Amino acid sequence: MKLADEIKSNKFSSEHQKAHVNILFTANWINGLMSKLFKRYDISAEQYNVLRVLRGSHPMKRCLKEITERMLDKNSNTSRIVKKLVDKQLIEIEEHETDKRFYQIGIHQNGLKLLKQIDVEMEKNPSIKQILTEKEAKLLSELLDKMRD
């Protein structure tokens, strides 16, 4: 699907502006697809991100600051997200023996199980693997990294 067809316009001041709009449009399109998937599992994209961060360090636990540093959206309210995931029994909190303000957060077996189900679901759906070759995906990542440098 071409950008111009999707937004019903082909008027851009430059190819740079078109690329910028295309990146924003594509990010929103991907977020929409992911949100539909996460909704079926009663989690948000931000909650999924926290679960993935914790799975990546499992069995080691992380403090809130470390999780926030690894979040895709640095403006996420990580403490609120963590509370919701604890309530859903997807992560667990271990308080420090002497300092109750300090705690470590780890993924619960329920969280690992949920991520495994989501991983299977993602593999079934058309993904970047079916759309781009390995070489194209590498180039895309390099170009996106270059934009942020």
Tell me what pLDDT residue 76 has: 85
101, burial (CB in 10 Å: exposed 0-12, middle 13-18, buried 19+): exposed
Token pair listed for 50: 């926290």
Nearest-angstrom CA–CA distance, 88 and 85? 5
CA dihedral 71, 75, 78, 80 (to 10 degrees): -150
State how far the Cα of 58 lies from the Cα of 62, in Å rounded to an integer: 9
Q: What secondary structure does DSSP assign to 50-101, as a single string?
A: HHHHHHHHTTS-B-HHHHHHH-SSTTS-HHHHHHHHHHTTSEEEEE-SS-TT
Dump pLDDT digits (tens) for 117-147: 999 988 776 666 778 888 998 999 999 999 9
CB atoms within 10 A of CB 55: 16
| Residue segments in the chain with a per-residue pLDDT below the cut of 70 | 99-100, 125-128
pLDDT score at 33: 86
- CATH classification of 43-148, choosing from 3.90.1150.10, 1.10.10.10, 3.20.20.140, 2.40.50.140? 1.10.10.10
Residues of the chain with CATH 1.10.10.10: 43-148
